Amino acid sequence: MSLISGNLAKMVNRLDNPASYRLPVGTISVPLNQYIGQPLSLNFTGRINCIACGRLIKKSFQQGYCFPCVRKLAVCDICMVKPEKCHYAAGTCREPLWGEAHCLQDHYVYLANTSGVKVGITRLSQVPTRWIDQGAVQALPLYRVKERLISGLLEVRLKNELSDRTDWRRMLCGAPEIVDLPAIAKTLHERFAVDIADLRKLFGEDSVTFMDGANPVEITYPVSSYPEKISAYNLDKTPEISDVLLGIKGQYLIFAGGVLNVRKYGGYFVELTVGE
- Label residue 274 by pLDDT band (50, 70, 90): confident
In this predicted structure, the answer to whether residue 146 has a pLDDT above a threshold of 70 is yes
Mean of the pLDDT values across residues 94-121? 96
Mean of the pLDDT values across residues 165-194? 96
In this predicted structure, the answer to whether residue 202 has a pLDDT above a threshold of 80 is yes
- The amino acid occupying position 39 is P
Number of CB atoms found within 10 A of residue 229's CB: 7
Mean of the pLDDT values across residues 248-255? 98
pLDDT at residue 214, rounded to an integer: 95
pLDDT at residue 276, rounded to an integer: 62
In this predicted structure, the answer to whether residue 6 has a pLDDT above a threshold of 80 is yes
26-42: string of b/e by CB count within 10 Å (b at 16+)? eeeebebbebbeebbeb
Percent of the chain predicted with pLDDT > 70: 99
Separation CA 64–CA 233 (nearest Å): 17
Mean of the pLDDT values across residues 143-152? 97
In this predicted structure, the answer to whether residue 201 has a pLDDT above a threshold of 70 is yes
- Label residue 81 by pLDDT band (50, 70, 90): very high
Mean of the per-residue pLDDT values of the chain = 96
pLDDT at residue 1, rounded to an integer: 66
pLDDT at residue 275, rounded to an integer: 73
**pTM of this prediction?**
0.95
pLDDT at residue 9, rounded to an integer: 98
96-133: string of b/e by CB count within 10 Å (b at 16+)? eeebeebbeeebbbbbbbbbbbbbbbbbeeebbbbbbb
pLDDT at residue 228, rounded to an integer: 85
Separation CA 103–CA 115 (nearest Å): 28
22-46: pLDDT as tens digits:
999 999 999 999 999 999 999 999 9
Mean of the pLDDT values across residues 220-228? 94
